[in-house]
Amino acid sequence: MWLLLGSRQVGKSSLLRRCAPERQYVNLDDLATRARANADPVLFARELIPPLIIDEIQYAPELLSPIKQLADAGAAPGAFWLTGSQNFQVMRGIRETLAGRVAILNLCGLSDEEKQLTRDQKTPQGYFESLVRTGFPKLCSTTDVDTRDLYLSSYTQTYIERDVRELLRVDKRREFEIFLRLCALRTGCLVNFDDLARDAGVSAPTVKSWLSVLEDSFLLKLVQPDHENRSKRLIKSPKLYFLDMGLAAFLAGWKTGELLRLGPQAGQAFETHVFSEVFKYFRHRAKEVDVRFFRTRDGREIDLLVEHQGKVYPIEVKLGLPSTSTLPRLSDIAPPNWERGQVVSLAVTSAETLTKDWRVVPPWALELPS
């Protein structure tokens, strides 16, 4: 049995249906189908003919038990393909019902690698224009701003606000909308829960709850600081990253890539996009990865520490070409399992050596373990 997790509209259903068009397809996003599945899951399951695809399984968690019985009754391995767009709801049901019977994969939006960037898109101006088009498959080839804005406006209202507000039973619609846009303005930054709560007009515990659900809905990721060094100088607040910088740009009010590139949020946006590319690289290869950041109160920092199979890959993100004097000396802070650092920058078009500890690369040439 397979479970494909990811945010709305990243192509989960399209991918599975294209891989196996002959399979029965059950769409629990359809209200009538969902009502029948929840009213009598056992009766509904009798209509299922493996192999099949069940879309948005979080809307009918009681269906998991009858599915388990069908699988145990002799269904072939991989006969059930499930999708979900809310990690908390789905995984609770999986842990309770299908533990040990399901393989879990993640699908994010299209990566730069999948988009196959053109020469024009490998300039700073072109790269930011590609960035704001988002990773949603339906928008990657769209250059019309009004078309993109209409799609993302509908996406926000139909999926984010409806799904998340229903899951949280949020009755403060206006506050939640403000909160969502405030998060977009803070992508790539440390999270101050009290400040975010004050600006959104809610309590800090409410902010933490809302952030948790947005993370479970695959819209953003909270990245924790590195804790291998237990020094009290380490900053303990997490950093917030949207998994799609194009969506964040829309929510933050940046209409075009050029306005974003020339605006005060350009560095945050570029760092957010690089983080999402790292995240997609591993998730789309079904690899486990731990991403942290390193920052101390005396100013030493590394934007991303990517740990995979016991090795740590330091990554700094800079729009321009960094001064070597601003880069931390890894020999002073790095344990033996740290690899040579990479500075991701739009100021170069190919890899160059900066110091014995660091080299600079464009985002499309970032080297990650295979």
Q: What is the pLDDT of residues 260-314, one digit of tens each?
A: 999 999 999 999 999 999 999 999 999 988 999 987 666 678 999 999 999 999 9
What's the CATH code, domain 2-106?
A: 3.40.50.300
Nearest CA among 322, 333, 206 for reference residue 342: 322
Domain range list for the chain? 2-106, 112-365
Nearest CA among 170, 199, 167 for reference residue 183: 199
330 with 338: CB under 8 angstroms? yes
How high is the pLDDT of residue 343? 96
- The predicted-structure confidence for 64-81, as pLDDT tens digits, reads as follows 888 888 888 878 888 999
Query: For the chain, what is the mean pLDDT?
Result: 89
- The predicted-structure confidence for 169-228, as pLDDT tens digits, reads as follows 666 778 888 999 999 999 999 999 999 999 999 999 999 988 988 898 889 999 999 865
239-242 and 220-223 as β-strands: parallel, antiparallel, unpaired?
A: antiparallel
Say what percent of the chain tops pLDDT 70: 91
How high is the pLDDT of residue 88? 66
Nearest CA among 245, 250, 287 for reference residue 111: 245
Q: How many angstroms separate the CA atoms of 82 and 160, rounded?
A: 21
Give the strands of the sheet with 352-353, arranged side by side: 290-295, 301-308, 311-318, 341-345, 358-361, 352-353
Which residue do the tokens 């800090």 mark?
A: 204
Q: How many angstroms separate the CA atoms of 158 and 210, rounded?
A: 17
DSSP helix/strand/coil, 61 = helix
Peptide bond into 51 cis (omega under 30): yes
Q: How many angstroms separate the CA atoms of 342 and 316, rounded?
A: 6
How high is the pLDDT of residue 169? 67
- The predicted-structure confidence for 218-230, as pLDDT tens digits, reads as follows 899 999 998 655 5
Higher pLDDT, residue 86 or 3: 3
Phi/psi region, residue 194 (left: phi>0; alpha: psi -120 to 50; beta: rest), is alpha
